[in-house]
Amino acid sequence: MIIRPPSNWFRMLLVWNGSVLPSILPQLALILAISVAALLGHGRILGERVPLDTAPFPLLGISLAIFLGFRNNASYQRYLEARQLWGHILAAARTLTSQTLAYLPAERLDHARFARQLVAFVHLLRHQLRGTDAGRDLERLQGPEAVALARARTYRPIMALNDMRRALQEACAGLPGGAQTVWMLDVQLNNLADAVAGCERIAGTPIPYPYGVLLHRTIYAYCFLLPFGLVHAIGAATPLIAVFVAYTLVALEAIAQEIGEPFGTAPNCLALDAMSRTIERSVLELCGQPLPPDAPVGKGYQID
């Protein structure tokens, strides 16, 4: 995801990086070609006039608005919930780190090592959601042995949580009030596990396919027929108006498609790289460890 400082109104008109326009240019070019053909042929196909005027299009536009509204709302709800889940991960990671530092002495728990385990869990979750390889992050945080161990597992973030739970239980064994401490720390581990399950639910339950098919077909049917309905009403302005209407409809569909898969790598998906980096920096700072570089705004990252 690309997050940039607020732009003025003129720069917003010209923005390219992060817009869906590059991905829909072929569709707009096709609509432009159909519009020019309709204009040059005076609304005829193979010599036969297409019997259309502007009257049916407002009625079709109402149904399109309903479909697009539903699709965009459903996609944004998925996007928002995914962002909230990652916010819960950030909060739980900070709280868990702070609690281990406050309630578990250094001779019972290696705080730096535990912090790296926690950060590794975050990166494992990100890579699992995106279907990418976590080897580089794991090797940087825990060494090559952790890479080989992780690749032998299927549900890697959950196994990382299990390893942390075991380490905390061993650190609390025999500690005065150890049972209460374990219970307190376990709450944060459970919060992390709940966030993992929520992310898996979103990633594994896409918006029902027939909704996307219906909307896609309706948009393109509308856009392909529109030039033949406009040509006799507005003449030479037909290509301009048809392409502009197509841009709004096709772009809305493309945006809904991108944000409906919030864990993807498209420009408008969640900035998981930057959010993972934010969690890593926050956890390591609590432990007094050196911080990795911050993620730059405007380069495909998001700063929390």
Which of 15-19, 126-130, 231-235 has the highest mean predicted lDDT (pLDDT)? 126-130
Angstrom distances, CA of residue 93 to CA of 98, 115, 190, 193:
9, 9, 11, 11
pLDDT band at 19 (very low <50, low <70, confident <90, very high): confident
Q: Are 24 and 250 in contact (CB under 8 A)?
A: yes
| pLDDT tens track for 85-107 | 999 999 999 999 999 999 999 99
Q: What is the mean pLDDT of residues 106-123?
A: 94
CA pseudo-torsion sign 167, 169, 172, 174: negative
Q: Can you give the pLDDT at residue 44? A: 81
pLDDT band at 75 (very low <50, low <70, confident <90, very high): very high
Q: Can you give the pLDDT at residue 125? A: 97
What is the rounded CA–CA span in Å between residue 58 and residue 60? 5
Work out the mean pLDDT of the chain and round it to a whole number.
89
Name the residue ranges covered by the structural domains of the chain.
21-286
What residue ranges in the chain does DSSP mark as E strands? 44-45, 48-49
Q: Can you give the pLDDT at residue 7? A: 67
